[in-house]
Chains A and B, each alone.
Chain A
Amino acid sequence: MTATASARAGSGVNVPALVRHYAVLIMLVALFVVLSVSTSSFLTLTNLLNILNQNAPLAIIAVAGTLVVICGGFDLSTGAIFSVANVVAAWVALHLNSPVLGLIAAPLAGAALGLVNGVAITRLRIHSFLATLASSLVYAGLAVLITGGFLISVQATGFTALGRGGIGPVYYAIVILALFALLSGFLLNRTAFGRYVLSVGGNAEAAELSGIRVNRIKLYTFLYSGLAAGIAAAIGVSRIGTGQPQAGDGMQLLAIAAVILGGTSIYGGVGAIWRSVCGVYLLALIDNGFDILNANPFFKDLTTGVVILAAVALSVASKRR
């Protein structure tokens, strides 16, 4: 890593960008080492797999959210989409008596709601921050409407296989996250679509003048974000076997925080998928560390908040060079 760092610096690439790129990885590794040394219960296969598994749905949302932020947008509705998708999955599984259809329904519902976001943003020309803030309220209400405010419990055995099963000791959720992150990284770095996302976020006017359908690209990123929230919801609902109308509350903010921790510029145009995944697990380690160190949980949110603030400050500082 230091080798690439010095090589890049030699060719005239700025140091702040490097700090922004690798800060999240450095913090993650440092915290990992501290926790490994200071407690015996951290560095065990079970604990690590549990951390990976528990945060996989959030990481999936953050991966897609990275594309949204790179494209110059914000998706504040992923938590609410998660809620709708998870009750839709439970409802379909219960009423159509098909666990498989239920689990398939979640990503479809998520994609549909993401599409609605995309259309609202591009057709009505509302800033994505406002549009998804509003749609998150609509979707949260929708989730409550579907369940009538109650939980939907699904007893069918197949329904929990996705969330609780795995390949050997590795949960399916981890496998799905790995595949989704690889696919998203490929989309961003190896396809024309990824280039368009980067250029629309970097300079929408230049992209438009280069013949790119700017609105369509933006719309796709929100569709993708909704799809990801739906996939995450399928995993989440399958894990507990119950559809909850409030299941996704707050996830959107954690996902955006993770993306920004990963150094993806809130101004768009630059960012990376893997760093957002690191961001999710940095937040997860802070959380896990407080638990296993028996630290005063009062400081948990405070610490998380300070870390996010520092990351944003770093992002802004490296932008104004």
Chain B
Amino acid sequence: MEGATPAAAVTVRDLSVRFGSTQALDSVSVSLAEGEVHGLVGENGAGKSTLGKVVGGLYQPDSGELEVFGRPVHRWDTRRAQDAGVVIIAQELCLVPALTVAENVFLGRESRTFGVLHANLRARYRKLEEICGFGLPPDAPVETLPIADQQKVEIMRALAREARVIVMDEPTSSLTADESERLHEIMRWLRERGTTVVYVTHFLDDVLANCDRVTVMRDGRVIRTAEAAAETKAGLVEAMLGEPVDVLLPDLPPAPPPDTEPVAEMRDVRGDAVRGVSLRVRPGEIVGLAGLVGSGRTEIARALFGCDRIESGQVLFRGEPVTDASPRASIARGMAMIPEDRRAQGLVLQRPVLENVTLPHLGRFSRSGVLSRGSERAAVRELVERLGVRPAALDGDVSVYSGGNQQKVLFAKWLLGRPEFLILDEPTRGVDVGAKSRIYQLIVEVAAAGTGILLISSELEEVIGLSHRVHLVRGGAVVGEVPGPGTSVDEVLQRLFEVGQPQQSPSADETETGGRP
């Protein structure tokens, strides 16, 4: 164990966290030393953010011990964490947009008498500014500042709370290379002051350049903690990957001949977070999109389905340019999309299974708007049985179904329309192993029946093993293509992490590799 470091700021032992059926952290033990910058790295879903959030008090552990500055803690939340000097800066910044910089910095820590504020806000801010020297305008509303400056406000806020441990969850994901470098300077400065910084990120170069020690996580477990100086990028990637997980991937149906007319096509599409994407999916073909969280995978799917506006470029369906892009028009043409967040975007949780399944197809089950409930029930019953939804009750309360069964309900919903083109965004996120293998089978069956599929998944084994071709997505653009079967996860991950390439600023990288691979 790493508890050997004499001055440990935070020590966790055998910490476990479960979310529903997912074991997010599985007896994790790690020790964060005083005055170090400690990197936390891992694949999507490896548990690095969860660990950061437990330390910061956002999540409560199910079991395990947490020790802060030598004191064991029992009840732990953000308030108690702050009192103990542990502050988390979440990926989505938590500032009040309309309040000024100074007001945000001292929010909740205002000096007051009987609730009346003292007029010393500026004096306190100046004192803090002498320490930090960020040079932010104290009276500017926070919403007028760029993200990087807002992050500094968060850091000042942490310092105003006399933070001795600051957890930064993916702080550079929305920063330019320049801004990231400045943040790294701040981290070094914090370290000199004796503050512990926990740096959760998936930019491995940044970790190697700026951290004292690195902890690698995989599948909710700590693989190892080591001196950053002793690590290499390739070594980190290897540790993050580990042994491939046992997933029973079904055999793919034969790929359609390459000269087949594509069912769906994007030509140099640009839009919100989509930066020049071209791709084509043929009938019966499964095309994967692999990328890290935030790489723009979902945005590409949304642009294709007509959810988000396209600024330039073209979407074609069966060779015809799409002029009236909207989910409604896409569905009418024979497209379907199972969205990323099944509870927020897929299901109407208050309504029973039956109503959820037939929702997009009520025209088929009604005459002059009056529903024919008999035929509706018959059609849904057949699908529920074919897909093995459990419980199989049509009037069942879908909000209490397990993740896997909710996902099957969504498959039933869209397969009922026999789509020619199906977009699957994270179809197995948070589902159990049994449902997963059923969903894999379904995907292959649907493709074998001639439907073109665009498959998005954070699980690389899944997206590689289930796709005929895999597009690599980074920064909203397709940066490469690999064949599905036969490609190693390692290779894809190396390319997604840009191992072996000189480090570039994200913006430069985008213009260079944007467009066709």
Contacts and interface: CB of A to CB of B under 8 A. Distances in A.
A206 B345 contact: yes
A4 to B, nearest CB: 13
A3 interface: no
A169 interface: no
Nearest to A200: B348
A125 interface: no
B359 A195 contact: yes
Contacts of A209: 305, 307, 327, 337, 339, 345-346
B303 to A, nearest CB: 14
Nearest to B413: A210
B351 A207 contact: no
B305 to A, nearest CB: 8
B420 to A, nearest CB: 15
B366 A202 contact: no
B273 interface: no
A192 B367 CA distance: 9
B393 interface: yes
Interface in B401-442: 413
B316 interface: no
Given A190-B371, A206-B345, A269-B350, A199 B396 contact: no
B328 interface: yes
Interface in A200-215: 202-203, 205-213
B198 to A, nearest CB: 33
A177 interface: no
Nearest to A14: B397
A211 B331 contact: yes
A206 B348 contact: yes
A173 B256 CA distance: 67
B359 A210 contact: yes
A142 B255 CA distance: 68
B204 interface: no
Contacts of A205: 344-345
A191 B370 contact: yes
A208 B344 CA distance: 12
Contact of B371 (A14, A192, A202, A208): A192
B332 interface: yes
A185 to B, nearest CB: 13
B366 A12 contact: no
Interface in B331-383: 331-332, 337, 339, 344-351, 355, 358-360, 362-363, 365-366, 369-371, 373
B117 interface: no
A13 interface: yes
Contacts of A265: 350
A99 to B, nearest CB: 34
Nearest to B417: A211
B371 A191 contact: yes
A12 B396 contact: yes
A213 B359 contact: no
B402 to A, nearest CB: 13
B157 to A, nearest CB: 30
A210 B331 contact: yes
A25 to B, nearest CB: 21
A198 interface: yes
B400 interface: yes
Contacts of A203: 344-345, 347-350
Nearest to A270: B350
Nearest to B350: A269
A296 interface: no
Contacts of A212: 328, 359-360
Most buried by A among B305, B330, B344, B362: B362
A131 to B, nearest CB: 23
Interface string A262-296: 00010001100000000000000000000000000
Nearest to A193: B369
B419 to A, nearest CB: 12
B393 A11 contact: yes
B309 to A, nearest CB: 14
B327 A211 contact: yes
A199 B370 contact: no
Contacts of A193: 369
A303 B55 CA distance: 50
A223 B267 CA distance: 42
Contact of B369 (A13, A14, A191, A202): A191
A82 B16 CA distance: 60
Given A199-B355, A203-B348, A210-B331, A191 B366 contact: yes
Nearest to A213: B328
Interface in B435-459: none
B397 A13 contact: yes
A13 B399 CA distance: 11
A245 to B, nearest CB: 37
Nearest to A189: B371
B515 to A, nearest CB: 29
B488 to A, nearest CB: 35
A114 to B, nearest CB: 20
Given A191-B371, A211-B327, A202 B351 contact: yes
Contacts of A192: 362-363, 365-366, 369-371
Given A12-B396, A211-B328, A190 B370 contact: yes
Contacts of B330: 211
Interface of A: 11-14, 190-193, 195-196, 198-199, 202-203, 205-213, 265, 269-270
26 contacts: A12-B391, A12-B397, A12-B400, A192-B362, A192-B365, A192-B366, A192-B370, A195-B359, A195-B362, A198-B350, A199-B348, A199-B351, A199-B355, A202-B351, A203-B349, A203-B350, A205-B345, A206-B344, A209-B345, A209-B346, A210-B331, A210-B359, A211-B331, A211-B360, A212-B328, A269-B348
Given A198-B350, A211-B328, A211-B360, 15 more contacts: A14-B397, A199-B351, A202-B349, A203-B349, A206-B347, A207-B359, A208-B327, A209-B305, A209-B307, A209-B339, A210-B331, A210-B360, A211-B330, A212-B328, A212-B360
User: Which 9 pairs show the lowest CB-CB distances between chains A and B?
Assistant: A202-B348, A211-B331, A269-B350, A192-B362, A211-B328, A210-B360, A203-B348, A202-B350, A199-B348
Interface of B: 305, 307, 327-328, 330-332, 337, 339, 344-351, 355, 358-360, 362-363, 365-366, 369-371, 373, 391, 393, 396-397, 400, 413
